[in-house]
Structure 1
């Protein structure tokens, strides 16, 4: 059966959007090849694939937003009209009115120097609302519909005054305000915490149902796609690998690529790295009564902003035995980042004490901490911004050795090659720059850079949140293999409990600067005592059944915070 033949009956019966043999080229390079699918009015379809698979290119082709020099052939039928054959003048009125768009990053989609209201009134103008008061009333009504508390305050705010979740609700509101028949949502939750992600996806599902909108969802997460849409189209290297109903693709994938994506979703495979985690569990069992590698005791940190005191970390305590992984979990603003800055000595606590391998960090300046930093390294969140783009890979990995004056020139070169080999990268990359590498390769370089000093402790600050799930799985395997082999101690910062379950041995759940729950990962996830922990756990996507191994059915999410 051909991929397009497995599409659901509603999509074939009354196509709102029909893509036939779509091919998109940049010069001689074909990035999408003969893609075909259909989406019915009021239906939902997900385009799934890793970065570079062509899913966003297809969305841009449907929206007629391909960059200059791109060429699209085939047929894209939108509400009965061949969109590719229309002139720009004839297609422009369809944007907003017939087809709406929710972009990936809310932080870059809005003009930072104009108020939300000023930008929202432009969307209202698509409905030919000429009176400003009527337009504002319509905007406020829409903001309330998408779940924004105090719409009037949002209307008068600038983008930087709103949280990421609120900005994404604003963008959804602007997209649905002109009441389009089709809504294209390009990775609308990839930059958000898992609890906010659930609220945004719930909102899109509700709007689709209540307004009879066709939803085209772009995502790299098979579980989210299966849970939220009726039909799935899997793409790899610009070609459709598999297509069909969500149930068919999720439960009975016919392609190796679909099976691999399923295996790479943390929530669906919580025990995937069980054998690699076992050495750490053994060390955890032996650690009773022994000094821990990391000790954080009663640490508090308060900042003063605009004359107000903000306690970012409040009496936080935890310990990490050598050779194990401890996770700090919580939403943005929970205090995770401040805690690791204190652990790294980049901030000093107001009260409390921190020791790493028996050395106290509190009260010590940069010079005194230099020796500690040699054995305590950090892997940053975003591999695209953490590496100097003007340096070669060899320089990037060697820099820590240069700064600490370790070894001769030949010894440093040997340690650089050894560090790269330990993360699965070859010497042929030494003379290349970061821009020539994929996201997964860049993050492996960042890990090699941290390992080259042979540290005892590595702090992992959301090390895979900017990566596709397949690339993320490869990085997790590298980290756990290194820990099992070298006995490394990790502090892992994340908002994703599914990923924490795969990697960590113990966990502290943080909320508003305090640890609300602490213990072994299995105990916390299987039997959480606090509502906040249950809310985090319930936000883990589990596919269309609503359940997965170790993942119970969803429970109500805590109410989203209003404007500060």
Structure 2
């Protein structure tokens, strides 16, 4: 019989007059995983903060939270401080911001090691090196000496997991621990958490908006919306037969479950016209006396009106290729053409003219918009910069772009801070559209968004492509979304092309081992919920 580790009963949380969590309840057994899922604003992180005793001072929580029978909500802070780290571990979402950038990894790790009890520095250091090896860091000594900026996102996340489990807590709270990671690194991190659960008997409270991850990695799921439980039960039961309308909507929006949702073959693509052409393009950077080949002899073509995806792990060359296309960097060798015209070798004015037809939608809608500008000013800025039309004509174009992305005119005088993540990304798309370009470069345009908001953005992009004949270069590490959205794909590794071709062919019949490894790392839903062909190791 499994022992109940965590019990939450009738938990309600209020910030001032606004109630954000409504009588939530669930239980978690030792050695098991429970996932809290829902979109932004659903109350997931507030519940996690309540469990960790980290609610802000103006918050008021009622109900009960028991950990191994100890009631936490009424616990004085001086007593709760003894539990954090020792009994309750925390893995935050963003590893870049969770560690002090001016201190070495080792110096920060000693803070966690001291929670083990009295011990000398040498014993602490050895415990740190041992846990770094345990979480799969190949060079523990180098990691110990390194600073955060010297490590990749995946390595930093392993460091954080190591520091969380080092004091041997009974419970780990993991807040979106893989949302910013490539699919293969994501799989390694999730495998690591599973292994630690099994070997150390940890309970895992997993905060995520990814239903596929919840179904694959947690025994139980609690579905939240607007701070209230919509549905709760075993992940297999909820995934196979969701009872609530909201859970069914979440399921419908999971790309891995609906690979053909946005696919309308051949409606806009013009196979006879090449919008983008890369021919034997290479780019080398130099750092610390070393030559780094970021792009190595890459060639591909994109038909007008189609979507071409660049996929691969961090460091594969995806972003460098996008920067080269936009003229933000120049290749060492090879040629890049847009509508048959070369990108490199242009004067500053000629390159500026080219960019009217070549616009970029950035990855993060929370940082790509000036927080001091209104929506009106953000969308109109490109028209003002290029001096297009009269004031009245610019206003008309602004309203056309706003309508095209499905935003209400009532938002025009708001600033980004008053918009949701989905609304911000629609503003970013409208800003890119207002110049009426032919090509959009989409750099991870939905990676910072919840799955339902992501589906809405993809619907907007597909509709715009059908109506306006736009060509998309889509940079992404979300292979399930690539399967839904792209027509053709180039798989990159260490700056070189591994394989490329139509999405259907590459995803269902990958020719290269690396492509198969990428595809097998994608979280897959429970096998009997989708057609067998979609659940084979070579598919998403």
Using the size of structure 2 for normalisation, the TM-score is 0.97
1:29 corresponds in structure 2 to: 18
Matches of 2:445 and 2:32, distance apart in 1: 35
2:105 corresponds in structure 1 to: 116
Q: Which of 392, 396, 410 in structure 2 is aligned with 1:414?
A: 396
Q: After the TM superposition, which residues 130-529 of structure 1 pair with which residues of structure 2 at under 5 Å, given as runs?
A: 130-275=119-264, 277-280=265-268, 283=269, 287=271, 290-529=272-511
2:38 corresponds in structure 1 to: 49
Partner secondary structure for residue 75 of structure 1: strand
Aligned partners of 1:440 and 1:471 also within 8 Å: yes
Aligned partners of 2:212 and 2:524 also within 8 Å: yes
Offset of 1:148 from its aligned partner? 0.8
Query: What stretches of structure 1 of length at least 5 have no aligned partner?
Result: 1-9, 556-564
Aligned partners of 1:22 and 1:32 also within 8 Å: yes
Offset of 1:129 from its aligned partner? 3.7
Q: Which of 48, 55, 60 in structure 1 is aligned with 2:49?
A: 60
Per-residue deviation, residues 198-228 of structure 1 (Å, max 9, x unmatched): 1000000110011111110000011100100
Q: Larger deviation: 305-314 or 233-242? A: 305-314
Partner secondary structure for residue 541 of structure 1: coil
1:102 corresponds in structure 2 to: 91
Query: What stretches of structure 2 of length at least 5 have no aligned partner?
Result: none
Matches of 1:104 and 1:502, distance apart in 2: 26
Per-residue deviation, residues 333-380 of structure 1 (Å, max 9, x unmatched): 100111011101111111111111121111123222121111111101
Offset of 1:47 from its aligned partner? 0.3
Aligned partners of 1:546 and 1:553 also within 8 Å: no
Q: Which of 507, 531, 536 in structure 1 is aligned with 2:513?
A: 531
Matches of 1:327 and 1:274, distance apart in 2: 14
Aligned partners of 2:371 and 2:416 also within 8 Å: yes
Offset of 1:268 from its aligned partner? 1.1
Offset of 1:130 from its aligned partner? 1.8
Partner secondary structure for residue 436 of structure 2: coil
Per-residue deviation, residues 401-458 of structure 1 (Å, max 9, x unmatched): 1111111111110110010001101111111111111000000011111111111111
Aligned partners of 2:240 and 2:529 also within 8 Å: no
Aligned partners of 1:325 and 1:506 also within 8 Å: yes
Per-residue deviation, residues 269-312 of structure 1 (Å, max 9, x unmatched): 1011123x5414xx35xx2xx34111111111111112221111
Offset of 1:553 from its aligned partner? 4.4
How many matched pairs? 537
Offset of 1:548 from its aligned partner? 4.5
Offset of 1:15 from its aligned partner? 1.8
Partner secondary structure for residue 232 of structure 1: strand
Matches of 1:129 and 1:114, distance apart in 2: 23
Offset of 1:174 from its aligned partner? 0.6
**Change in 2 beyond 3 A, CA 1:278/1:37:** farther
Matches of 1:169 and 1:554, distance apart in 2: 26
Using the size of structure 1 for normalisation, the TM-score is 0.93
Aligned partners of 2:527 and 2:535 also within 8 Å: no
Matches of 1:121 and 1:548, distance apart in 2: 47
Partner secondary structure for residue 167 of structure 2: coil
